[in-house]
Amino acid sequence: MTHVVFRDDDVDEVSDQFLAYRDLMKKYEMPVTYAVIPGRTSPSSAQKLKSLKTAKDVFVQHGWMHTNHGTDTQKAEFGMREPEIEQQEILAGYAKMKDLFADDFLPVFVPPYHAYTQHTWHAAQEAGCKGFSAKKGQPVWAGMRSLPAHILFDIYRDGKHSFLSAQTALRQFLFLRKRPFVIFLTHHKNIDSYERTELEKVLRFLSQLKMRGKVTFCSFGDLLQ
């Protein structure tokens, strides 16, 4: 049975868009693994996020401030600067995530823009992370579970943003569904009415597969066990 997982990135303050996203996922009983930007998340926001979470939702560590230190075409928060500076940011992010989310923090590192090097991987591991989640087809090393996003709803081409249609997302899913797990990646901040309609079609289809015993809905917490 395939484990279906949703990772939602760039979580910081609780916005109307966040609430709409969370309600949609809750309607289909899809747990969410939220990648939180620790440097931009206040204690009161973390409190709110924790109070809104469903039983299986978890919070993982995204980039410290989600600042682009790369170029416009090759964005990167990690993998571009002195390894010591990046290591300090990963340590600070880990400590703040523990402080803000306590037991609801799952120690997995998600590098912004899927950009990282071997130094980033080892810094996350040394900080205490048990998993690392970028996107599929990128390098991995030993010591942590690799949890790559397989299906990316957001597409950036020539500086323009678009969202996968439900048809394309499901075609990608059906191609991958022999795998033990398939990770979908969303950014709730990019989800308005069209995106919501397409996402809901995907969730409805996945729910039908779940009812037929073909898939199960999980979070990163289940994959790390």
Q: Please, which contacts does 194-198 make with residues 24 or more away whose CB atoms are closer than 8 Å?
A: 194/163, 195/153, 195/163, 196/20, 196/24, 197/166, 198/163, 198/164, 198/165, 198/166, 198/169
Which of 108, 167, 159, 156 lies closest to 132 in space, CA to CA? 108
Q: What is the nearest approach in angstroms of Zn ion to the Cβ of residue 55?
A: 25
> Closer to Zn ion at the Cβ: 10 or 198?
10
Residue that is written with structure tokens 């992370």 in the block? 129
> Closer to Zn ion at the Cβ: 9 or 57?
9
Q: What is the nearest approach in angstroms of Zn ion to the Cβ of residue 3?
A: 23
Q: What is the nearest approach in angstroms of Zn ion to the Cβ of residue 40?
A: 11
> Closer to Zn ion at the Cβ: 34 or 101?
34
Q: What is the nearest approach in angstroms of Zn ion to the Cβ of residue 111?
A: 9
> Closer to Zn ion at the Cβ: 10 or 209?
10
Contacts with Zn ion, residue ranges (CB under 5 A)? 9-10, 112
User: Residue 80 and residue 76: Cα distance in Å, rounded?
Assistant: 7
